[in-house]
Amino acid sequence: MTKNVAIIGGGPSGLMAADVLSAHGHMVTIYERKPSMGRKFLMAGRGGLNITYSENLEKFIQKYNEAADILKPVIHHFTPQDMRDWCEALGEETFIGSSGRVFPKSFKASPLLRAWLARLEAQKVIFKTRHDWQGWRGDALYFQTNDGAVTVQADATLLALGGASWPNLGSDGSWVDILEGQDVKIAPLRPSNCGFIVKWSDVFSKKFEGKSLKAVALSYDGKTIKGEFIITKNGVEGGAIYALSSFLREGVADNGLASLILDLKPDLSEKEIIKRLQKPKSKLSMSNYLRKTLNLSDVAIGLIMELPERQKLNDYTPQNIAQLIKFYKLDLKETFAIDRAISTAGGVTFDNIDRNFMLKNKPSVFVTGEMLNWEAPTGGYLLQACMASGSYVGRGISDWFKD
Ligand SMILES: Cc1cc2nc3c(=O)[nH]c(=O)nc-3n(C[C@H](O)[C@H](O)[C@H](O)COP(=O)(O)OP(=O)(O)OC[C@H]3O[C@@H](n4cnc5c(N)ncnc54)[C@H](O)[C@@H]3O)c2cc1C
């Protein structure tokens, strides 16, 4: 029997649920506070839409760390291969990049979103933009619109409201107060895949702001990542930092600071560095000497010159200098604000929802996507979990109607 479903939030998770529910013959209306759908999805496509990752499925699922067991049936329900097939069905073939990341051939999100919205429209999904959901009045959903307040009754409601990063794109975590008011437990929203504050000297930040530190190894708490990151005016951000950010964030929370160990020259062993530093320095400045003997980048040399030890470097032995290069300690003070993060940790905890992702405290209300309490590194794991949970909950709502 056809039912009315209200989906609040027109991001990839809500759109995916709409796809499944409308294909099952239900009447779906998507309510979105912004003037158009999928703004964060489009932003994700700016630097290349990394839609999923190509690796063994069990290894893939482990990337969700503490939420891996809970998300296992979700990812099995809509796998990375399903994601690629789904893209292709919308006319966007995908390819696997050299790092294992999967992208649409066009690299962009806009053709995919356009085709997706057209299909939803063909499946009779109704789009209501500029509808800002503000909670319930009695049993009815309550929205503010440009034309005043609107109330809506639905057979089932799906909240697909996203996290709290990049709030100008629509998701700002304003749902937290509403749901806490309904006794739903929310793990505090925190930045994930985020940058960290470092207290640089003025000289360093002026010279290196915006520059990348490439081909370095970063270690924290027994985990090591090779990659690159960017120096910002007051800190560090970028791929290799994001990859460790969940652990670094907890380190900062527990200890007030997290000490990241950088290997500024991972392709040379300590022994080889010591050997090369036997070469006389002659009249070269220490910076030029390090550049010439070790081919260290300007940013790496700048980092060494940031150390209080820089005054004494001329008296250092090759062993001492090699230690500084191989075990450079960078103290991270706190995370950048959540509105600059790629994604959000925290959210509706899984003990609040049943196997169909319905809120135990609020029958007929379901949740999906980034507003749930999981986090994952970049690499396509975010969109995969958002869209897989949208598909999973779409089927769950359909099953619930049959019960
Ligand atoms: C710069 C950037 C790059 C990214 N790149 C990638 C990438 O390459 N690969 C990847 O996997 N992930 C990427 N992500 C993450 C990915 O985009 C998100 O994880 C994903 O969009 C979350 O989907 P969602 O549907 O749960 O929430 P969202 O996409 O945030 O959608 C939620 C929607 O709900 C609406 N909404 C919120 N509150 C209300 C309300 N009260 N009333 C009405 N509507 C409301 C919002 O306006 C929004 O449209 C990136 C994120 C950013 C910021």
pLDDT tens per residue across span 255-282: 999 999 999 999 999 999 999 999 998 8
Residue 103 near ligand 1, beta carbon < 6 Å: no
Tell me, what's the pLDDT at 3? 97
Taking CA 61 as the corner, what is the angle to CA 385 and CA 166, rounded to the nearest 5 degrees?
Answer: 35
| C-alpha 25 – ligand 1 centre gap (Å) | 26
Whether the per-residue pLDDT at 202 is higher than 90: the answer is yes
CA distances to 67, 181, 264 from 178, rounded to whole Å, are 24, 5, 47
134 Cα–ligand 1 center, Å: 19
What confidence tens digit (pLDDT) does each residue in 63-80 have?
A: 999 999 999 999 999 999
Q: 27 has which bridge partners?
A: 4
d(CA 137, CA 305) in angstroms, rounded, equals 61
Q: How confident is the model at residue 1 (pLDDT cuts 50, 70, 90)?
A: confident
Q: Confidence class of residue 400 from pLDDT cuts 50, 70 and 90?
A: very high
Sheet hosting strand 126-128, strand order edge to edge: 126-128, 27-31, 4-8, 156-159, 365-367
- Token pair recorded at residue 91: 């006319």
Asked if residues 161 and 58 have their Cβ atoms less than 8 Å apart, the reply is no
47: nearest Cα among 112, 97, 116, 109: 109
Q: Is the pTM of this model over 0.85?
A: yes
Domains of the chain: 4-192+345-402 (3.50.50.60), 196-332 (no CATH)
Residue 159 CA to its chain's centroid (Å) = 19
The whole-angstrom separation of Cα 167 and Cα 164 is 6
Secondary structure (3-state) at 12: helix
Report the pLDDT averaged over residues 118-143. Answer: 98
Within its chain, how far is the Cα of 122 from the centroid?
A: 31
Model confidence at 314, pLDDT cuts 50, 70, 90, reads confident
Look at residue 315 in the predicted model and tell me its pLDDT: 86
8 C-alpha to center of ligand 1: Å?
A: 13
- Dump pLDDT digits (tens) for 223-234: 999 999 999 999
Burial class (CB in 10 A: 0-12, 13-18, 19+), 237: buried
Which residue among 36, 37, 131, 161 is best mutated to probe the pocket of ligand 1, counting the most ligand atoms within 8 A of its Cβ? 161
| Ligand 1 probe mutation, 336, 375, 382, 391, most atoms within 8 A of CB | 382
Binned at pLDDT 50, 70 and 90, residue 292 comes out as very high
For residues 126-130, average pLDDT:
98
Q: Please give the share of the chain, as a percent, with pLDDT higher than 90.
A: 96
Segment 74-107, tens digit of pLDDT:
999 999 999 999 999 999 999 999 999 999 999 9
* Per-residue exposure over 336-358, b if at least 16 CB sit within 10 Å of its own CB, e if not: bebeebbbbbbbbebebbeebbb
Helix (H) / strand (E) element for 343: namely strand 343-348
Q: With bands split at pLDDT 50, 70 and 90, how would you rate the model's confidence at 310?
A: confident
**Residue 65 in 3-state DSSP?**
helix
Please tell me the distance between residue 368's alpha carbon and the centre of ligand 1 in angstroms: 12
For ligand 1, say whether the CB of 191 is within 6 Å of any of its atoms. no
- What's the average model confidence in pLDDT over 46-65? 96
> What are 103's strand-pairing partners?
95
Which residue puts its alpha carbon closest to atom 29 of ligand 1?
Answer: 11
Single-letter residue type at 104: P
pLDDT of residue 174: 98
How far is residue 374's CA from residue 141's CA, in Å, rounded to a whole number? 26
Chain mean pLDDT for the chain = 97
Model confidence at 159, pLDDT cuts 50, 70, 90, reads very high
Helix 286-294 to helix 298-306 angle, to the nearest 10 degrees? 140
- The single-letter code of the amino acid at 292 is K
> Can you give the pLDDT at residue 354?
97
Assess contact for 191 and 344: CB atoms under 8 A.
Answer: yes
Residue for token digits 């979105």?
A: 32
Determine the Cα–Cα distance for residues 273 and 294; give it in Å rounded to an integer: 7
Q: How far is CA 378 from CA 53, 98, 175, in A?
A: 10, 15, 24
What is the SS3 assignment for 91-136?
CCCEEECCCCEEEECCCCCHHHHHHHHHHHHHCCCEEECCCEEEEE
Q: What is the pLDDT of residues 337-396, one digit of tens each?
A: 999 999 999 999 999 999 999 999 999 999 999 999 999 999 999 999 999 999 999 999
Dihedral over alpha carbons 302, 308, 200, 337 (to 10 degrees): 120
Distance 75 CA to ligand 1 centre (A): 18
What amino acid is encoded at 200 in this protein?
Answer: W
